[in-house]
Amino acid sequence: MILTRIRPWVAALAVSAAVLAPAMAQQPDFYRGKTMEFIVGYPPGAGFDIYGRTLAQFMGKHIPGNPTLVVKNMPGASSLKGLQYISAQAPKDGTSIGIFNPTLINLSVLEPKQVDVDFSKLTWLGNMSNDTKVCFAWGSSGIRSADDIRAKQLIIGGTAQGAGLAYGSIMKAIFGDHVKLVLGYPSNSDVWLALERGEAEGNCTGWGVIPAMKPDWVANKKVNVLVQFAKKPSALLPNVPLVFDLGISDDLKAAVSFLTLADSFTRPIIAPPGIPADRAKLLRDAFHATMKDPEFLAQAAKGNLEIDPMDAETLVGLVQEIRNTPASAVELAKKLSQ
């Protein structure tokens, strides 16, 4: 259904994004002996870094010529620095790819000048997984459920432009002064240190990365998940209420839907605009071959990384759906993010 609805826009992307471009003569020797850069818009140790490094470890063997992929961390503004580099400065010959935070797509609708990236021109390779965003409280805060917030104040720490801002702002819209946002941390890893030190009491992020990076938090029940931002419950969080079940208005529901749609593709892999169509196809094929690689999947399972791949065409359709959100919902979402 989604593909039928967005087919005209996808057709318009065929030349620039190379999503539907027919494969030209492939160049299996182009990558032989080459080193590719894999841009990660976060510091080492963050969730995007772990996913990126795991993919980079295996993807090269599925590219004809077997190039080496070297991860380059380019942190800044919740991966915006890395995204802008890929969009405007990275080599356009197929030797540069990367991963970024898809909430920047929402931000590009809310604040186009701030993001300054034309997502319709990027070369989309696919998506590694989806992830349900949640807000959780540190155990010692005394907040065990969303209802507890109404009797206390929850201090939510977050990055400047990531889930902490988007989902923390939703929590503040629902609970008012009972939620305080402290933003500006370089990465979620820094937020989590703040939680352990008692400098913050909560965080909003994708839940899937917590078992991978903080397994002791889960095993020892150090955090309480308060709400999940999804249209249906995650199998990992069967008893956690959806944000839509918290008695919010229809207008707020529309704004939340806009802000959370990117959760269906939380680890998108991209290349710069304008790379040769045959190399774009090689990279897309290599990405999807990696997603089926038993060694890659075993490594991902070892690291508690959820893998649920999506093809580039479907990914492009969802990006456009975000960009086509009605103005009324965008305006309310913009208020939530201020």
DSSP 99-148: E--THHHHHHHH-HHHH---TTTSEEEEE-----EEEEEEGGG---SHHH
Q: What DSSP designation does 261 have? A: G
Is pLDDT above 50 for 204? Answer: yes
Is pLDDT above 80 for 3? Answer: no
**Pick from 224, 244, 261: which residue ends a domain?**
261
Q: What is the pTM of this model?
A: 0.73
Identify the pLDDT of residue 35: 98
Q: What is the mean pLDDT of residues 257-273?
A: 90
* Nearest-angstrom CA–CA distance, 124 and 104: 15
Q: What is the mean pLDDT of residues 89-95?
A: 97
User: In CATH, what number is assigned to the domain containing residue 179?
Assistant: 3.40.190.10
Phi/psi at 287 (nearest 5 deg)? -60, -50
CA-closest candidate to residue 226, choices 114, 330, 144: 144
Is position 338 within any domain?
no
Is pLDDT above 90 for 11? Answer: no
Is pLDDT above 90 for 216? Answer: yes
Q: Which residue has the higher pLDDT, 300 or 212?
A: 300
Is position 238 within any domain?
yes
What percentage of residues in the chain have a pLDDT greater than 70? Answer: 90
Is pLDDT above 80 for 295? Answer: yes
Is pLDDT above 50 for 21? Answer: no
Identify the pLDDT of residue 15: 40
* Nearest-angstrom CA–CA distance, 124 and 102: 12
Query: What pLDDT digit, counting tens, does each position of 49-71 carry?
Result: 999 999 999 999 999 999 999 99
Identify the pLDDT of residue 69: 98
* Nearest-angstrom CA–CA distance, 73 and 75: 6
Q: What is the mean pLDDT of residues 111-119?
A: 92
Residues 106 and 8 in one domain: yes
Q: Which residue has the higher pLDDT, 163 or 3?
A: 163
What percentage of residues in the chain have a pLDDT greater than 90? Answer: 64
**Pick from 236, 261, 286: which residue ends a domain?**
261
Give the 3-state secondary structure of residue 205.
Answer: strand
Domain that holds residue 122: 2-130+266-327
Beta bridge partners, 36, equal 69
CA-closest candidate to residue 39, choices 77, 104, 78, 83: 83
Identify the pLDDT of residue 273: 98
* Nearest-angstrom CA–CA distance, 18 and 118: 14
Identify the pLDDT of residue 162: 65
Residues 60 and 94 in one domain: yes
Residues 288 and 226 in one domain: no
Mean pLDDT value across the chain: 88
Burial level of 98, CB count in 10 A (0-12/13-18/19+)?
A: buried
Contact 311, 288 (CB under 8 A): yes
Q: Which residue has the higher pLDDT, 16 or 120?
A: 120
Identify the pLDDT of residue 16: 42
Number of domains in the chain: 2
Residues 52 and 169 in one domain: no
Query: What pLDDT digit, counting tens, does each position of 296-337 carry?
Result: 999 999 988 889 999 999 999 999 999 999 998 899 888 776
Q: What is the mean pLDDT of residues 248-265?
A: 86
Is position 333 within any domain?
no
Identify the pLDDT of residue 42: 93
Is pLDDT above 50 for 22? Answer: no
Give the max Cα distance, the chain. Answer: 65
